[in-house]
Amino acid sequence: GENVEQHPSTLSVQEGDSAVIKCTYSDSASNYFPWYKQELGKGPQLIIDIRSNVGEKKDQRIAVTLNKTAKHFSLHITETQPEDSAVYFCAASLTGNQFYFGTGTSLTVIP
Amino acid sequence: AAGVIQSPRHLIKEKRETATLKCYPIPRHDTVYWYQQGPGQDPQFLISFYEKMQSDKGSIPDRFSAQQFSDYHSELNMSSLELGDSALYFCASSLGRGRNYGYTFGSGTRLTVV
């Protein structure tokens, strides 16, 4: 099955700085890569996703890049704000049904 | 907008008891997924249903069973509970099996087995 690795496990940045979270996947057939933000006591919320036919996608302060050859994808958050503090999960999927999640990154934005 | 509704939000059970978790998908969504998230862990896929039929099966223990009803809500039945079953259980829903990527999670049920 698919194996998704995520780094770093914890990340602290100053408010206004950028944050980068990286994931690698093992199954070259995976073709959909969502990113989820999970706040304490809440379910994961989709923040951005990318499909394998696209190399980069942006949505305001959030961007995701995908390198299919190297089988890795990254989340970039610019101009971080305290409300960005949460746990972020990457995931990979082949069918769009079952997602394989990374182990999560706890992001802390220091005011 | 309506979201995925899970009930109960919190549940405390003793070892060897049974528990039933319910999930009400977003209206018109026909696919439901169940995930288990242990403390400090990433969500692990348990099982999914599409149009009331089991679609995919993940790491769901034999002690657990699930089904999707005619109104598309789903129930996860857990028997002979063990301490290790203590976790957050998330349900998610989507429209179309594999056709529309990206599904919406509910807020979860926190199960504590004592």
Chain B: give the shortest CA distance to residue A64, in Å.
15
Cβ atoms within 10 Å of B37's Cβ, excluding its own: 21
Which range, A17-21, A49-53, B42-46, B99-103, is most confident?
A: A17-21
Asked if the C-beta of B56 comes within 8 angstroms of chain A's C-beta atoms, the answer is yes
Residues of chain B with confidence (pLDDT) below 70: 1, 97-101
CA–CA gap between residue A36 and residue B16 (Å, rounded): 34
Asked if the C-beta of B102 comes within 8 angstroms of chain A's C-beta atoms, the answer is yes
Mean pLDDT of the A95-111 span: 90
CA–CA gap between residue A101 and residue B102 (Å, rounded): 13
Chain B: give the shortest CA distance to residue A69, in Å.
22
pLDDT on residue B101:
61
Q: Which residue of A has its CA nearest to B54?
A: A97
* Contact between B105 and A49 using a beta-carbon 8 Å cutoff: no
Owner of token pair 């923040």? A47
Owner of token pair 């809500």? B73
